[in-house]
Structure 1
């Protein structure tokens, strides 16, 4: 095994001759292919000048993790933004001390998955945090294991077989960064709040993709006068927002609420004409609210202390998640402010 590892270094191209092809089976398969290659005693491994920068990623769709399409015996490639990053802790496992870090990965549609990395991978994140000045971490885990912890699906490293890349520069990671993360301040007849719209939802109301407006630039924008017109045009408009109440809101008290769906036009008039509140069908962790955009803060990570959560703006009897529904008529708009993530 040592000789094979020595002759097949990760990231290098080799010509392999005299090997065995057989059917796949068992746990922790690195691909969905039906066949696998087995190195034999007389297998020959030869160096080559051939080069190809393609990483041959097969990125998992978050919504498919743990389903028939991506069962737990597959090792997957997963890309996302690190959110809710916990402290790197040293814990005892089977009599040995190991470092561990817990966090969540979020895709451009707002889907999230829990992650737990151990040992050298936790140390890699610890080192990145101490050395990097960039608060935004884009994380790629190759050959990650799908597991379950306390009833929740979780991504973790497959022993030492996984590869961890932080803020990688391959095409897939660059495309991931060129997405919206739009924070808007809205107001209805119950008060004000801050909402976060990720790429798919933001594109719906802006009408343009992020890369079309920013042309690949990540420079910080401090002057609201130079904001793209499609984003400026949001101020003063009314939308119907379907909100997702996440663990960050319930457990950590975050006052920024993620928008799962958005509607405008006739749908808003229909909601406003109803005498009874209308809940977003599907889960008690969702709510429907018609509000007007007051101002915009683009790619803003932390929530404003001056913005109150809908919980505090309602009567005590209306504080239950199932009853968080409101409608409003148009209100006056404020000036807008924009910040943009700065990438090295």
Structure 2
């Protein structure tokens, strides 16, 4: 067989096909029925795409030969009907590699043949597109919420809501789960003055009643911000020449995820405590505390320098000159990222706030990492610091945006750890905040809701019950190890090891994707209550 078959001509009546294709998307997927499989979307020189699968018993045979972006020839494979509600292509069939399939590397297909086919926003919103097929999206990010930590199947998952506009100024709601939420937050902090263009590959159309939005779907989806693509440059050039600014908005308070709303989490599912009750607690648990920020501890600093690619805290390292008596010269110390092993890391300042809080029963200290501090300040840390290459030099100088937090009252979801009641560690870690004044006022009234909320917020929030399990599965399948300060520790894990000092743990492990940190400044406050 000298020539190659076209992907468009592939049908199940035989197996002896031969195609030359490029892998535009590859991921591994686990299911109870099929086990661990390799999934791919491949494209030929005509631009026709088809889904391909490697079943669990053949994963070890083909894993080393398959790589995203690689061009291959495939010979002898079977085809089956393509069905389901997460179809990656419009081809009627999908490829299944056989034990006798031959895979060979070959010269690359034409440059730029990536299969990217962005949809029209209006066709998503008016129901013209079949939601069973995954779609590509390109849009200008004009609105973004803070990252939320949502309970999904007993675990906490990051979620962020966005609004994109297209060249016709049609607005498309989008919800991203898991690491993608953190990826968007980082891009926003580094966006500078330029517009933020988002590209979503293989996104899922979500339908809730009459409303439609787009979300990432399992491991298949890919999100890039301002990627180096010809399509992005063409889109940017055709955007209206207006001065539309990115709006950072509050998340909608009634977001549903796996049947539990954020409001229900604060009002019903997590016990409420005063500061005195929190301090006196003698067990590992989470609680809701309504309290007022009375000061910011400036001795701890209010930001730290992180390595942009890995999010880890950078450190100063002495010069690598043995026997030099001037090794202790501070001018010769260089910033170093222990995770990337780089002496010239790309730096990004992040918040790590130590708040002094009080209520009518007493006072305490709360530790907030970057994604939570951003909810309070509504400005990325880099906007307050400007481009920097050094640690905090004068911790007593607090930016006005941080000073303005003093005197404000919020709802905090706080973790009581073993270190707090066994070793009297007086700083408590916060893992969720509600800043919405109406919700705070309702919480402060004698009567709280007795039944879980069943209404989903309207407007631009389209996070429905079916969204969250996808985000959860995506995270589990990616198997991303998040080092640093734990976002979720079980009581068993807390009892199993030695007590952990929050500051020491942070300095050793830096920050996680789910909890970014910042150093904070201290103001003198009467702590008598």
User: Larger Rg: 1 or 2?
Assistant: 2
For normalisation by structure 1, the TM-score amounts to: 0.49
